[in-house]
Amino acid sequence: MTQLNPHLPLRLDNLSYSIGSKTLIDNLSAEIKSAGISIILGHNGAGKSLLLKLMHGVLQPSAGAIYWQQQIPDSDQYWRSLVLQKPSFFERSVRFHLEFILGVSKTEKSQHRERIEHALEICGLSELHQRKVSSLSGGEIQRLSLARAWVLRPKVLLLDEPTVALDPPAVSQFETLVKQFRDSGSKIIMTTHDIPQAQRLADEVLFIYQGKLAEQAEANSFFKAPTSCIAQHYLKGQLIAET
């Protein structure tokens, strides 16, 4: 029996985010309540990454509100992890970064060793645990990002176009790890503009266009017969005139 996620539903209420006079997220409302993988899909510049950062609490909305269950997001909530497209690391070892995040999150010291060894094994980094970040490949760095999340055992994992600079084998490895997070009970919300990747991973799709939610649907329905004209054009690779 699937365990209910205590932090769902995620509710976005009339959410807006502006910089100066430019509105980047425009009065967006949605609810994410199902387990599995929700993909935020859309063109470059549609507002996908901004939306994910608002969900995590790294950015604060200009208007509207976000609720995880009934809780407003704060970036210091360690039941939720955010993996960025270009993650930041110290010039230290792989193992150091896992120890560091466990310390920051105030995880019981007695749990550190077990969590670290498990994360290193799951993410294929056991043999690299003493290597410094500067010696890692792009794929290894992204797997370290996931290992850093794995040690926290997050209930929610937010992924911001994490495979955009990776080669196909590294993408495949990363997607396998994402599915392991899902199977362990984590809710995954991931941004991408890679349609084949979304088809491989998504249980649900939120399609964003110019900072607005154009469509939200189960993945099978969305890819088979999207209801919005904008999404139909997008899936066919057709340009859409600016509005």
CB contact at 8 A, 155 and 186:
yes
Within a 13 Å sphere around the CA of 236, how many CA atoms are in the beta-carbon half? 11
pLDDT tier at 241, thresholds 50, 70, 90 = low
pLDDT tier at 240, thresholds 50, 70, 90 = low
Using CA atoms of 89, 74, 59, 137 in order, give the dihedral in degrees to the nearest 10.
20
Instruction: Kindly list the domain boundaries of the chain, sorted by start residue.
Output: 1-79+156-165+184-243, 88-153
pLDDT tier at 13, thresholds 50, 70, 90 = very high
Packing angle, helices 168-183 and 138-150, rounded to 10: 10
Using CA atoms of 108, 110, 113, 119 in order, give the dihedral in degrees to the nearest 10.
-40
Query: What is the fold of 1-79+156-165+184-243?
Result: Rossmann fold (3.40.50)
pLDDT 10s digits, 114-133: 999 999 999 999 999 999 99
pLDDT 10s digits, 169-204: 999 999 999 999 999 999 999 999 899 999 999 999
CA 96 remoteness from chain centre: 23
Q: What type of residue sits at position 156?
A: V
CB contact at 8 A, 25 and 61:
yes
pLDDT 10s digits, 34-68: 999 999 999 989 999 999 999 999 999 999 999 99
CB contact at 8 A, 5 and 35:
yes
pLDDT tier at 243, thresholds 50, 70, 90 = very low
